[in-house]
């Protein structure tokens, strides 16, 4: 035991060299890790010590970059400028996909993955600022739906503890496929986005409930089943019969659909579409970020969603637009401008508009990534819970 346990105290030396040319360690690095580093132009320098490896590359959403080996067995590469925002990435060492020991890990792509947060010039809506800060509360709840203890996170706004009579509206906010309830708390920076909006008077103080949308009964850990009504139903059951009742019993929240919203990204956008729009008496506002529901991606669960038929999926949506509009305070759709989902999403929104369905639509630069979802939340939260 003694020798083995001493092994754990050996300092990791792979990452202690300093990057040059004004490059600085990424904010997503573990303390003391100099790499990955970003220079002023958002070029990233990745570095890894692997003396016996024959081939190393780094895979980022925007591409794959080969690392070159130096005499001491250190591999490195300087990439072209990276797109702003948070990117999952992975090293491949001789074909084996591994994490970067210099990076913190973030649950996404169905594993705890390395990630790099690339700053966007002039954008600070998700920075830590000198404003009052809310909490993110880690909570256990027992679900009678799954008959198991489950975990969720709840953002409570600044002052929630001090003003013990005030009640607040609630946004239920869902992650994407291969992610979980840590996504909006860590990668999404929900707390900082809301803290900054509330301090500026641009959003109402609200709770944000960040639950785990992966349902064991509906197709395994990635959850959600297919991109259709049946696939999203298990999460709807969990939300309506376990999560909302738990929140309303344990937090000071306002009753009524006008004070409840449901939104999500990608798979979570599909959940928001089906569960939200089928339960408008519960959710007065629905936000659908970057969903593949409208098409633009390969099908999952065997069914390609390319041929989206709004009326078939949500009877009355197109044919009873007036009633739909009157039953909802806000129907919001967003998507990234470089996301393959954008054209089908634009077509769906055009169809909604043509039939008189009131939808607020926004696009943001970026692909199927967190920078678009941070901006979607930032935008959506400002439109929510208006008097």
Minimum CB separation of residue 382 from a second copy in Å reads: 22
**Residues 296 and 330 sit within 8 Å (Cβ to Cβ):** no
- Among residues 185, 167, 166, the alpha carbon closest in space to that of 175 is found at 185
Smaller CB separation from a second copy, 54 or 309: 54
Smaller CB separation from a second copy, 45 or 185: 185
Given 272, 297, 310, 372, the residue binding a second copy (CB under 8 A): 297
161: contact with a second copy by CB under 8 A: yes
Q: What is the CA radius of gyration of the chain?
A: 22
On the 0-12 / 13-18 / 19+ scale of CB atoms within 10 A, 265 is buried
135: contact with a second copy by CB under 8 A: yes
Helix, strand and coil percent figures for the chain, each rounded to 5: 25, 30, 45
Smaller CB separation from a second copy, 94 or 311: 94
Binding characters for a second copy, 187-226, by CB under 8 A (x = yes): ----x----------------------x-----xxx----
Minimum CB separation of residue 357 from a second copy in Å reads: 28
Minimum CB separation of residue 106 from a second copy in Å reads: 9
298: contact with a second copy by CB under 8 A: yes
Q: How many residues does the chain have?
A: 387
Smaller CB separation from a second copy, 107 or 331: 107
Angle at the Cα of 214 from the Cα atoms of 203 and 255, rounded to 5 degrees = 40
Give me 300's structure tokens. Answer: 């999952």
Residues 107-126 that bind a second copy (CB under 8 A): 107-112
Given 86, 367, 378, 385, the residue binding a second copy (CB under 8 A): 367
- Among residues 50, 380, 61, 67, the alpha carbon closest in space to that of 203 is found at 380
- Among residues 228, 224, 205, the alpha carbon closest in space to that of 215 is found at 224
Residues 243-272 that bind a second copy (CB under 8 A): 250-251
- Among residues 218, 243, 246, the alpha carbon closest in space to that of 232 is found at 218
| CB within 8 Å of 105: residues ≥ 6 apart | 99, 112, 113, 114, 115
Minimum CB separation of residue 242 from a second copy in Å reads: 15
Smaller CB separation from a second copy, 154 or 272: 154
Smaller CB separation from a second copy, 63 or 315: 63
Select the span of 117-125, 197-205, 227-235, 366-374 touching a second copy (CB under 8 A). 366-374
Smaller CB separation from a second copy, 269 or 367: 367
d(CA 200, CA 346): 31
Minimum CB separation of residue 279 from a second copy in Å reads: 26
- Partners of 69 in beta bridges: 75
Given 204, 260, 280, 368, the residue binding a second copy (CB under 8 A): 368
Residues 299-338 that bind a second copy (CB under 8 A): 338
Smaller CB separation from a second copy, 34 or 317: 34
**Residues 212 and 243 sit within 8 Å (Cβ to Cβ):** no
Smaller CB separation from a second copy, 95 or 121: 95
Minimum CB separation of residue 68 from a second copy in Å reads: 16
Give me 270's structure tokens. Answer: 């599909």
Give me 278's structure tokens. Answer: 């089928």
Total site size for a second copy, rule CB under 8 A: 79
On the 0-12 / 13-18 / 19+ scale of CB atoms within 10 A, 226 is middle
Minimum CB separation of residue 122 from a second copy in Å reads: 20
Residues 47-106 that bind a second copy (CB under 8 A): 48-54, 59-64, 88, 93-99, 101-105
């Amino acid at each position: 035991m003694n020798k083995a346990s001493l092994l754990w105290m050996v300092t990791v030396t792979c990452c202690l060299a300093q990057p040059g040319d004004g490059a600085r360690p990424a904010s997503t690095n573990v303390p003391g890790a100099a790499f990955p580093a970003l220079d002023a132009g958002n070029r990233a320098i990745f570095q890894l010590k692997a003396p016996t490896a024959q081939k190393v590359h780094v895979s980022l959403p925007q591409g794959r970059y080969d690392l070159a080996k130096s005499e001491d067995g250190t591999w490195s590469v300087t990439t072209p400028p990276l797109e702003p925002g948070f990117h999952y990435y992975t090293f491949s060492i001789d074909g084996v996909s591994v994490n970067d020991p210099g990076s913190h890990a973030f649950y996404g792509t169905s594993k705890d993955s390395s990630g790099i947060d690339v700053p966007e010039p002039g954008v600070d809506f998700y920075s830590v600022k000198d404003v009052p800060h809310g909490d993110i509360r880690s909570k256990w709840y027992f679900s009678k739906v799954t008959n198991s203890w489950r975990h969720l996170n709840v953002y409570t706004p600044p002052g929630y503890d001090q003003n013990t009579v005030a009640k607040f509206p609630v946004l239920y906010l869902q992650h994407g496929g291969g992610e979980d309830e840590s996504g909006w708390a860590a990668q999404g920076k929900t707390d900082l986005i809301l803290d900054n909006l509330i301090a500026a008077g641009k959003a109402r103080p609200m709770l944000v409930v960040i639950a785990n949308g992966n349902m064991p009964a509906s197709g395994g850990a990635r959850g959600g089943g297919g991109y259709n009504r049946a696939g999203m139903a298990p999460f709807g059951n969990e939300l309506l019969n376990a999560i909302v009742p738990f929140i309303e019993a344990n937090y000071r929240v306002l009753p009524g659909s006008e004070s409840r919203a449901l939104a999500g990204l990608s798979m979570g956008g599909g959940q928001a579409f089906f569960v939200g729009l089928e339960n408008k008496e519960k959710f007065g506002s629905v936000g659908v970020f970057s969903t593949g529901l409208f098409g633009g991606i390969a099908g999952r669960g065997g069914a390609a969603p390319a041929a989206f038929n709004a009326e078939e999926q949500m009877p009355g949506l197109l044919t009873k637009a007036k009633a739909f509009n009157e039953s909802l305070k806000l129907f919001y759709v967003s998507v990234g401008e470089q996301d393959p989902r954008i054209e089908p999403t634009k077509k769906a929104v055009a169809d909604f508009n043509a039939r008189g369905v009131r939808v607020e639509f926004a696009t943001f630069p970026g692909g199927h990534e967190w920078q678009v979802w941070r901006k979607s939340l930032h935008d959506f939260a400002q439109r929510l819970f208006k008097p």
